[in-house]
Chains A and B, each alone.
Chain A
Amino acid sequence: MRQFYFYSIMLFVFVLGSCSGKKSANNNQEQSENPKELSDVTGTQALGEPHPGKAVYQKYCLTCHQSDGSGVPGMFPPLSPNEWIADKDKMIELMLNGQSGEITVNGEVYNSLMPAHDFLSDEQIADVISYVRMSFGNDLEAVSQEEVAAAR
């Protein structure tokens, strides 16, 4: 039975993957002049490289904020559209300095600690913020490494 579930899930993932693959392929054709601006909502692209911020996200952010950016209710806020994601400067500051104390995101209160990620390079920070700002339902402009360097 477990195996059946496993194969069903794999099949589902495969079907999902192939749908998003097609979508990304179309996007790729339309916007091929700048691969960084590709919308990478599903994180799968049949053609071209995945957004460079995705690897940074998977390594440093995913544990708490989850693979779908939904966060952990009551602990870590979601990365779906909210007032923090919308504020580019705040995002850079969050990455460089971390965050502690009570905050409100989309009306929900959180009081956990996010460590500073100032050990990442300007490019990595710019990439991961840009990735978040174009994923999980967000459709916001990218952040440049110069903007991160200026804030550091």
Chain B
Amino acid sequence: MKFINLLLLAVVFVSCNSGSHKINTITADSDNGGLTLPEGFCALVVADDLGPARHIQVNDQGDIYISLNRLHKGGGIACLRDTTNDGRADLIQYFGRHHGTGIAFWNNHLYFGSDTLVVRYPMVYGQLLPHDGEEIVVTGLPINNQHAAKPLTFDQAGNLYVTVGAPSNACMEQTRTKGSPGMDPCPLLERHGGIWKFRADQLKQDQVEDGQRYATGIRHAVAIDWNGAENTLYALQHGRDQLHQFFPELYDEKQSAELPAEEFLLVEEGSDFGWPYCYYDPITQQKVLGPEYGGDGTEVGVCAAKDDPILAFPAHVAPNDLLFYTGDMFPEQYQNGAFIAFHGSWNRAPEVQEGYYVVFVPFEGKIPSGDWEIFADGFAGVSPVNSPADAQYRPCGLAQGPDGSLFVTDDVKGRVWRIMYNPAN
């Protein structure tokens, strides 16, 4: 079976030419599925209308598994297969009774992070659908009415990392209410606002009793990935909102749209990135005290002791997935670098909204070796984006295929793109 697959792979080759369809040839869409890409790259639409497609995984056979934010057609996981080798999914089935964001493979199991549980399903080689024998890996995760997603990843030593967002903006006594002070210490940090570490192979672990709070002070991280080459965990934080709305005497509307930075975090055991007490100012390049905790926009205070990001992105652009690229399809500059899918902002209003794109960050070892650049754009379909509802598509998940293609999901309409490289294009 493996030999046949190899043979099949050998005759399948990628073509960025928009010529006629050929059997066993993956031809990109003539419009690259609406995306704009760097020279030599092309894209095709793998599937459409899958429901609110969040994170995505592609297995060694090229089958695709996508977490859904709500149950769609009776399932919370969309399972996709391309049976004709044209790159487009022609077999689409829905599976699982939970909805959520986290999804990843480990040791022949598909792990799924619903909003309150991590469950897993055994995979059977050659079968598209996972086996129905659901097992609970982590239980007792808090139900949040904001920042509910529980994304997850694995290291190479059999540990599972789950992010638990804080159901809060800046831990005010009364949620998102002008004049309400920040709680100090913030009690939410006991079970929220961090990354928890569990054993990957142990069942029914409780967040508090069995889990370890690996890192804290992270308001909400949807993008999380283990960098296998560096043996290090990375995540990106959704930074706080509404500085002008709650503190008009300190921040004008423009400052509120541009503060604070979305932070790219190198996460080590015991890291504390400072939420809710601090935020990162990308202009002065330091963590400053939040106004709920007596800050005036420049005072540093306790934030001097908090961990800084390795890179700062524009405010509010909502990093929703991270992928360290290890494939050999893309040029050398992309090797071991980071792709990040940004969902796009909602809280820059009345300024125009931004960040409906996938970016690339080159890496040298554990840290970025250059500035970030937009890799894939055009998801929104309109420019400028005045309101998020104007955006046709919003990038949400990233995965690498067995041939090194990059897959991107959208959770507005449920589209999946496959981005490929062919310099002969």
Contact = CB atoms under 8 A, between A and B. Distances in A.
B285 interface: no
Interface stretch (B26-34, B35-43, B384-392): B384-392
Given A63-B349, A112-B145, A72 B176 contact: no
A67 B241 CA distance: 17
B175 A68 contact: no
A9 B384 contact: yes
A113 B412 CA distance: 21
Nearest to A73: B389
Interface in A50-72: 58-60, 62-64, 66-68, 70-72
A106 interface: no
B52 A67 contact: no
B22 to A, nearest CB: 38
Interface in B363-420: 384, 386-390, 411-412
Given A67-B387, A72-B389, A74-B411, A116 B145 contact: no
A70 B412 CA distance: 15
Given A112-B145, A115-B174, A72 B350 contact: no
A100 interface: yes
B176 A115 contact: yes
A9 B382 CA distance: 13
A112 B146 CA distance: 6
- In this complex, the interface size class of chain A, counting residues with CB under 8 Å from chain B, is 20 to 34
B389 A78 contact: yes
A78 B349 CA distance: 15
A70 B178 contact: no
Contact of A66 (B176, B245, B349): B349
A100 B176 CA distance: 12
Nearest to A58: B350
B327 to A, nearest CB: 31
Given A9-B384, A100-B145, A63 B245 contact: yes
Given A63-B245, A70-B390, A119 B178 contact: yes
Contacts of B390: 70
A116 B69 contact: no
Contacts of B145: 100-101, 111-113
Contacts of B411: 74
A75 interface: yes
Given A63-B241, A78-B389, A113-B175, A72 B146 contact: no
A66 B387 contact: yes
B177 A115 contact: yes
Nearest to B70: A109
Nearest to A62: B349
Interface string A99-111: 0110000000101
Nearest to A109: B70
Best-buried of B146, B241, B347, B389 by chain A (most CB within 10 Å): B389
B318 to A, nearest CB: 11
Contact of B349 (A67, A111, A115, A116): A67
B240 to A, nearest CB: 13
Interface string B100-113: 00000000000000
Contact of B146 (A70, A113, A116): A113
Contacts of A63: 241-242, 245, 347, 349
A74 B384 CA distance: 21
B342 interface: no
B412 A73 contact: yes
Contacts of A60: 245
Interface of B: 52, 69-70, 145-146, 148, 174-179, 241-242, 245, 346-347, 349-350, 384, 386-390, 411-412
23 contacts: A58-B350, A62-B349, A64-B347, A66-B388, A66-B389, A67-B349, A67-B350, A67-B386, A72-B346, A72-B387, A72-B389, A73-B389, A74-B52, A76-B346, A78-B389, A111-B145, A112-B146, A113-B175, A113-B176, A115-B174, A115-B176, A115-B177, A119-B179
Interface of A: 9, 58-60, 62-64, 66-68, 70-76, 78, 100-101, 109, 111-113, 115-116, 119
